Structure 1
Amino acid sequence: MSDSLLTDSATQVFADAEEAARCPRDEAAWSAALWARVEEAGFPEALTYDESDGITTADALGIVRVAAAHAAPVPIGETMVAHWLLARAGVAAPSGPLTVGPVVAGEALTAREGDGALYVEGRLSGVPYARFAAGVVVLVEVEGRTLAVCLRAEDIGTEPGLNLACEARDDVVVKTAVPPDRFGPSPTDAAGLFAIGATLRSVALAGALETVLSRTVAYAGERVQFGRPIAKFQAIQHSLAEIASEAAAARAAADMASEVLTGPEARTLAAVAKARTGEAATKSAGLAHQVHGAIGFTLEHSLHLYTQRLWAWRDEFGTEADWSLVLGEAALEAGPAGYWPMITDLDHRVGL
């Protein structure tokens, strides 16, 4: 399947998602009807395919970008990664929305094997959409092995929380025995999952930035001040140009990271993408609100649905500063002779 066919299909599925994203400030946005369409389209399994099936990793993550461009209040990226983890672990995935954990650096559940089961215990913070999920796929360390574990909804307790964009970010409490058919060897460790999460958020940031750009350009062309559209004023033109350049840079960085999920290059590419998309989000959200004026902050206007996501997502799975530090450490490790090739070879390594 070509990227255009997949993204066209995603655009149809998420066409009216923005309305579902509107909700009272103290409630989590969610749409069961939208999720039913997502499952009908087969999107949750997209990452389990490979190039021989006609769908690359980048193609699959294009669905995440389109969902973000429509402010879709569903865990499409997390569910795709959960299916990928379980498929690689040889574990059957439950139907319904899924999520993953841990999502905060340094957090971990404890686990031990005994009596034919895996005993898992602990607490995870800010797990996306946990209250709505049919299962949470978590990574645990047991005797030097990383296992992917499918915790069903009945295995966990959730304490509701929200991010700035009113998306569910729930604490998960678990103390349960998991049967052997629900866990297996993971294709990545916790650090790798954190980098994959950073790539997910980078792709989502790129999608939301595209909508912020298009809505801001449209508003500047419609809003008349002093007898002409404000888009005619040079200061506004400069702001629009800066948003456009930031959106383009974010898309390029996110596309590069979406080529690979695992391997020696994946963490570096995720770091580049998350640092660059985070920077673009900060700059573009402020400029977009400057162009829109006060109306952009109102509940009636759609801009805040996207700028609040930009502000929330830039801090999830590591901030711009966190990932910039990772890049700095990689540069120091490369040394004087390896620093420049580390930069220039990124595209070559993933075949772009």
Structure 2
Amino acid sequence: VFQSRYDKCYVIVFARYLFCVLYILRKMNIVSTQLGNSLYNCVRSNLRWPLWTRSHFTYYPTRMGTGKRMNMFNAINNAMDLALDENKSALLFGEDVGFGGVFRCSVNLRDKYGSQRVFNTPLCEQGIAGFAIGVANTGATAIAEIQFADYIFPSFDQIVNEAAKYRYRSGGLFDCGSLTFRVPCGAVGHGALYHSQSPEAYFAHTPGLRVVVPRGPIKAKGLILACIRDPNPCIVFEPKTLYRAAVEEVPAEYYTSQLGKADILRHGKDVTLIGWGTQVHVLLEVAEIAKSTLNIDCEVIDLVSILPWDAITICTSAKKTGRVIIAHEAPLTQGFGSELASYIQEKCFLHLEAPVKRVAGWDTPFPHVFEPFYMPDKHRCLSAINDIVNF
């Protein structure tokens, strides 16, 4: 029995090194094959998989009529397939996109539509963004992939100062609508500081952009198709850990999800829980636990759209419950939860029973081994519910 979460982390570290040492000894024949295999398999089965790959959330699939069973990367692939088929001017490009992408979201699309429409780019995010703006400015449709959200920052100037402001600075004469950036983001279990960040707040401060985060296959397909059709440059942050988390019955036809609209996934009367992306599934699990163990009825809202965000749905729920908790993976300070909390306390102050509470990543670079303790998991969210109810 672990006395603390840190004791458990030390076991994870020890297990990792023991696993590596046994693997090397076995390969070098320093230990007998039979003994080496026995020890290796023991550590692999009893330590490595339960502790290293356990997700910090439970996935709650959505059912939306008849369709095809898809996980999120299948749904994204299907959305881009439909977009490329419908719009002959659409181009899909990015690092390794022609090969199917590191997450396989564009697999088989180059074979179907040709290397003139689906192709690889150099490893230069600034160039990818600049090229995408040029494509969209000529009237074509650009679907650009930034391979990891952590590497979107070299393209920050292009997206924020060029794409977002193009229509405004030309007095409406030109624009680069029909421009969509797909950006895998968030924790995945082993990404560390260069493959785990959630930078949505940086772009939420930029008028002229649309920023969305899907929670699953159905929403991912609808949001991507909506962004591709939208006349404004859009960024779709795709939580990497959800790509293969579970499957949903995704409608096979072309459909779009409304941009700027939040989804109420669970109705409640005591506490409003707000999240987006992966964190939505954490909050749904927390809501079930709170109801069964504490008899606290939580309302769960998926914000979906970061820019613009659905103030009406959020404030209506806040006024009903009087208590609001906002959870996100990005660091606490200046995370997008700060804007939500400020707005809610400004507009709903007289209806609140307690200050708005935020549960987020810590104000540190994203850790590797300590990732389970960085995440705003169900334990931290349940603690926040207990605090806000007993305020």
TM-score of Structure 1 vs Structure 2, range by shorter chain: under 0.3
TM-score when scaled to structure 2? Answer: 0.23
Q: Which has the larger radius of gyration?
A: 2
TM-score when scaled to structure 1? Answer: 0.25
Structure number having the greater helix percentage: 1
